[in-house]
Amino acid sequence: MTDEAAADFETVHGARPSGVWAAPGRVNLIGEHTDYNDGFVLPIALPHTTRITARRRADGRLRLFSAQGDGTITDLALDRLKPGVVTSWAAYPAGVFWALAEAGHAIGGADLFVDSDVPTGAGLSSSAALECATAAALNDLYGLGLSAPELAVLAQRAENAFVGVPCGVMDQMASACCTDGTALFLDTRTLEQRHVPLDLAAAGLRLLVIDTRVKHDLGDGAYAALRAGCERAAELLGLPALRDLSAADLPAALDRLPSELRPLVRHVVTEDARVTATVEHLDAGRIAELGPILTAGHASLRDDFGVSCAETDLAVEAAVAAGALGARMTGGGFGGSVIALVAAARVAEVSEAVRAAFRSAGFAEPVTFTAVPSVGARRTA
Ligand code: GAF
């Protein structure tokens, strides 16, 4: 571990740490709002990570400090944790302690020092990064021997039941399981996963991420309402989940649904098909042909699912008009980030075109960076 990480930890917690763990944020290439419908997703991990320096405590207390916080330590008793008692950023790591204990794993207290460069509220899964880094640290500190998918499911449980956000499992699986240079093709029903090689550089391409800086919040009720709408539609169709509706059966199924649920169902079914089509393209080495699938995915999220906003729409339009092969919002929506597939030589031009379009529209300056598929949660020291 770096001397600096150890020194920072010691300044706050008064003792030497045992190690450092890191977990990344993610962007999803395609497969949005499919995970809670038991469908398919295709995220990559970002190089941006949340890092946790930690040590065990023998007294059952959790002492949580964030370098991005207000300078105070959140001090909690493990045996007093229950949903609703922690409302700050500390609910994410505390929720992981709670979920592990609730599942019967033998854990005790810990001191944590959290430091992160995953942008928050940008649709890049800073919450999952924090949860998965905590889970990886506790797994090692207490010798639990849990696998990466097991840790991801516990992290999702923490977010659902402790923090109170009814998210699917994509973000935690991406943060826990991704590998360098690949996208994670995940069946969210079975958790079967395949790491699909994604060599953007060899194809002369870049994945441009455009953070619109419109803060998104999954806890505000809109996400839960969409999820409930999808579940209601599956129930009306007599299906376990919308994943069980095929594209061939879609037209007849839509006729049987109330009009307000039809667009939701159309998005989910066509989005699952876009994920499998994307994987087929990647397997065949046709990365440069993915653009229209990405842009069609955005249109579906905008027109059918209704989770886009003026800034994400403008970022997609401006990027494509400036020569991006395709673009779409990524993550839950209601703001957040857009990804664009761009020829390496045109990245600066496309980024500047998006910035200029935002200036003309009077929107805040977006933040742009290129992303390479990176590795999931791990111990780094
Ligand atoms: C958010 C959720 F956390 C994910 O589970 C997923 O539903 C995504 O929105 C939309 O695809 O990131």
pLDDT tens profile 312-355 = 999 999 999 999 999 999 999 999 999 999 999 999 999 999 99
Domain's final residue, options 161, 195, 229: 195
* In-domain check, residue 349: yes
Decide: 60 and 79 in contact? Cβ < 8 Å.
yes
CATH number at residue 89: 3.30.230.10
- List, by residue number, the catalytic residues: 171
* In-domain check, residue 378: no
| Pocket around ligand 1 at a 6 A CB cut-off | 32-33, 35-36, 167-168, 170-171, 218, 331-332
Q: Which residues of the chain have pLDDT under 50?
A: none
Q: Do residue 133 and residue 261 come from a single domain?
A: no
* In-domain check, residue 380: no
Task: Classify 53 as helix, strand or coil.
Answer: strand
Per-residue pLDDT at 367: 97
Q: Do residue 158 and residue 245 come from a single domain?
A: no
* In-domain check, residue 274: yes
Per-residue pLDDT at 219: 63
Strands (DSSP E) found in the chain: 19-28, 40-41, 43-57, 61-66, 74-77, 109-116, 182-187, 193-197, 205-211, 326-330, 337-343, 367-371, 378-379
Residues in the chain, how many?
Answer: 381
Task: Classify 94 as helix, strand or coil.
Answer: helix
Q: Do residue 181 and residue 220 come from a single domain?
A: no
* In-domain check, residue 224: yes
* In-domain check, residue 242: yes
* Annotated binding-site residue? 159: yes
Q: Do residue 40 and residue 68 come from a single domain?
A: yes
- ipTM entry: 0.99
d(CA 84, CA 245): 36
What's the gap in Å between 57 CA and the centre of ligand 1? 34
| DSSP alpha helix (H) spans, 194-249 | 222-237
* Annotated binding-site residue? 231: no
* Annotated binding-site residue? 36: no
* In-domain check, residue 376: no
Give counts: helices (H), strands (E), the chain.
11, 13
Residue located via tokens 């029903």: 189
pLDDT tens profile 58-92 = 999 999 999 999 999 999 999 999 999 999 999 99
Tell me which residue range forms the domain holding 31.
3-195
Strands (DSSP E) found in 170-261: 182-187, 193-197, 205-211
Per-residue pLDDT at 220: 74
Q: Do residue 19 and residue 161 come from a single domain?
A: yes
Nearest CA to ligand 1 atom 1: 332
* In-domain check, residue 91: yes
Nearest CA to ligand 1 atom 5: 168
**Structural domains in the chain (count):** 2
**Cβ-Cβ contacts under 8 Å for 233 (sequence gap 6 or more):** 242, 257, 261, 264, 265
- As beta bridge partners, residue 93 has none
Q: Do residue 227 and residue 311 come from a single domain?
A: yes
Per-residue pLDDT at 5: 87
Q: Do residue 83 and residue 173 come from a single domain?
A: yes
CATH number at residue 247: 3.30.70.890
